[in-house]
Structure 1
């Protein structure tokens, strides 16, 4: 297991961490309370070259390792999980299908501006009646002269409705029962975006429903071979699970950082909270849980970098790290006491942001199934 970052990746991590502390941290709470996606800081990340971390230089990216990507994602999430969530959705399920399965013309036309940070990527999978049960998708693609016609609705789609968004890559059912991936640009006739949805957390992430009413998609906007779209998405999703694990690590670490700071300042009964054994034990357990999940996550990332199977390890990392995030943020609120329960408290934001990590990119129940099957269970 080699988790060592290259010199370039260390520089990128320092660059991203400095930018997060200088530019993202001051506006994170306000954007969260305003329920606004701060695309100005995402553009700033793009200007630094950090929106194409997993994309080869040939297509405008940096071609960092998965381990390097995870390290930067964790650092961003420790400052603002919402911005980090937008960044990871763009970098994985939004961008990977185009990188892995798109034609060179598609990569030049759509992948390059995404990798160079000029636009934001989104992928449309989930529907009102289908999430983990992908084969129940109802959005349909019907063959037409020179292309396809899409009809249906997608739900909870991130990054599709910002002023940076290029549109969305959509997974739709074909007449023969297979699935295809289709690029739908903003402004296409019949394509509309619902209002920004309001979740418990990730208030700074733009998430909304998308509607397709006889949307025509030319043949040159089909990603890969029609009928193989589901396999394409599942391939990208495995990287997404590592990303969610890294998001969870950063969210948990951000909450721990706040708890440590608060415990070192808050006085009760004439002493700092950090001097009480009960608080010390909580903090020790939180740090230990994060570190254990971190090793599992970086291990999954290193397997991908080595070209080895990582499906099981990615699912394990996502499962464990998301559990740790919900547990650690809950304990952080407990350390803050009544102050932590108030939405104005910085730790409350991390607490609210943590829960979705057990749901997104495949629920934890699905991760159990993936792991069990990889273990050989029938």
Structure 2
């Protein structure tokens, strides 16, 4: 059922209605077939881009939608309620544009940002490596300085839209230690850049996740974002926003699972009553609804802090932690509501449960979120 949203103005309400219309027409009818067949949904991102949904939180002067994060995240939630893999890719695209927007020079932004935010291109984020996931400072992909730029050698892992994206926000080592990492903007046609076969995943199968291999790939110096050695602060700054994106996606997923479970419980009867009228199951659904509402409130609180220019790193980790744990619990309980039927592919709840698991892992595992929160408390 549609969420009754508190939005800041009439424009935001119109944007949500537009998103719902597009999601119901362009995503809802084809999600099941693409996820089951593990096929890429050609044209879907072009449709979202044409509607301006790929650049919402960025300024109009660069081609963005100039929407506050509070509104952008609720749009993302609406997309996720229909198709989680697509919503994750939209969030990752926004994450990939963040370093250039915040740390790029005016010349760099004028050169690349309008195209990145045009709705006709899609971006990917290349921070993780096979042996450096949560420990980003341990990455070894090397960027050796040469005349006019850098030679990149090494591999990156877990890239959403790998091999399909038009540009890659890349983090590579230019020196020693945590201060020896730099950020680059790599176009898809970079010579020496290749991709592995898509990972065989538990869920989110319609959008590929791959490794990337840089074999002495040359990136011009003007494509370095920020100063040399500034890579980790840039990465972590982007991840704060990215964690809010995943929190919103997780809430959309949990809401979809709750809606499916409620609809089924209103139809299914046992012992002469609809199962929602049995107190044990009714309380389970009540707990799920309370958890979804609470998770939504955490990401909105963090987003409003971001929009107000207040520190929000801890709140972003809280939102990501709460929302993704909620998604895992609610989707699991939704399968329980369906009983044996929920364990089959006849219903979407089994896919929702598989999809929920990854939300607890990417953009920093939930153990990392607890570490961020704990360190924040230690400083207060």
TM range (shorter): over 0.9
Deviation at 1:167, TM superposition (A): 2.7
Measured in 2, the distance between the counterparts of 1:181 and 1:22 equals 38
Corresponding position of 1:32:
35
Per-residue Cα deviation, 1:17-73 (whole angstroms, up to 9, x for no partner): 111111100001111112123241111010001110011111111110010011111
* 1:86 aligns with one of 89, 110, 116: 89
Deviations, residues 321-344 of structure 1 (Å, cap 9, x unaligned) = 111000000000000111111134
Instruction: Give CA deviations for 1:289-327 in whole Å, capped at 9, x if unaligned.
Output: 111111111000000001001111111111111110000
Conserved? CA contact 1:74–1:250, under 8 Å: yes
Tell me if the contact between 1:85 and 1:205 (Cα under 8 Å) persists in the aligned partners.
Answer: no
Greater mean alpha carbon deviation, residues 269-278 or residues 45-54? 269-278
Which residue of 1 is the match for residue 360 of structure 2?
A: 358
1:346 Cα deviation after fit: 1.1
Q: Is the 8 A contact 2:162 2:211 kept in 1?
A: no
2:119 aligned to which of 106, 117, 120: 117
Matches of 1:370 and 1:193 in 2, distance apart? 32
Whether 1:248 and 2:253 are equivalent positions in the alignment is no
Question: Is it true that 1:305 corresponds to 2:307 in the alignment?
Answer: yes
Structure 1's 221 and 203: CA in aligned 2 closer, same or farther, altered over 3 A? same
Contact 1:51 1:114 in 2 (8 A): no
1:284 to 283, 286, 293: 286
**How far off is 1:176 after superposition?**
4.4
Inter-CA distance 5–205: structure 2 relative to 1 (3 Å threshold): farther
Out of 194, 205, 208, the residue aligned to residue 206 of structure 1 is 208
2:169 corresponds to 1:166: no
RMSD: 1.6
Correspondence list, 1:112-191, <5 A: 112-162=114-164, 165-177=165-177, 178-191=180-193
Dislocated runs of 4+, deviation >4 Å: none
Q: Which sections of structure 2, spanning at least 5 residues, go unmatched?
A: 1-5
Distance in 1 of aligned mates of 2:115 and 2:351 = 32
Q: How many Å separate the matches in 1 of 2:7 and 2:348? A: 32
2: CA distance, partners of 1:109 / 1:159:
23
Shift of 1:135: 1.2
Measure how far apart 1:107 and its partner are.
2.4
1:60 to 59, 63, 68: 63
Cα drift, residue 377 of structure 1: 6.1
Partners of 2:59 and 2:42 in 1: how far apart? 24
Out of 20, 35, 39, the residue aligned to residue 17 of structure 1 is 20
Distance 2:126 2:254 in 1: 28
**Which residue number in structure 2 is paired with residue 333 of structure 1?**
335
CA deviations 1:329-375 (Å, max 9, x no partner) are: 00000001111111342111111100011111011111111101111
Matched positions, count = 374
Distance 2:143 2:263 in 1: 53
Q: What residue is the counterpart of 2:262 in the other structure?
A: 260
Counterpart CA distance in 2 for 1:180 and 1:37 is 32
Tell me if 1:98 matches 2:100. yes
Q: Find the aligned partners of 1:337 and 1:107 in 2 and give their Cα distance.
A: 53
Q: Distance in 1 between matches of 2:163 and 2:340?
A: 36
Query: Would the alpha carbon gap of residues 354 and 180 (structure 1) be closer, same or farther in structure 2, given more than 3 Å must change?
Result: same
Native 8 Å contact 1:122 1:167 kept in 2: yes
Does the 8 Å contact 1:160/1:167 carry over to 2? no
Mapped to 2, the partners of 1:253 and 1:313 lie a distance apart of 21
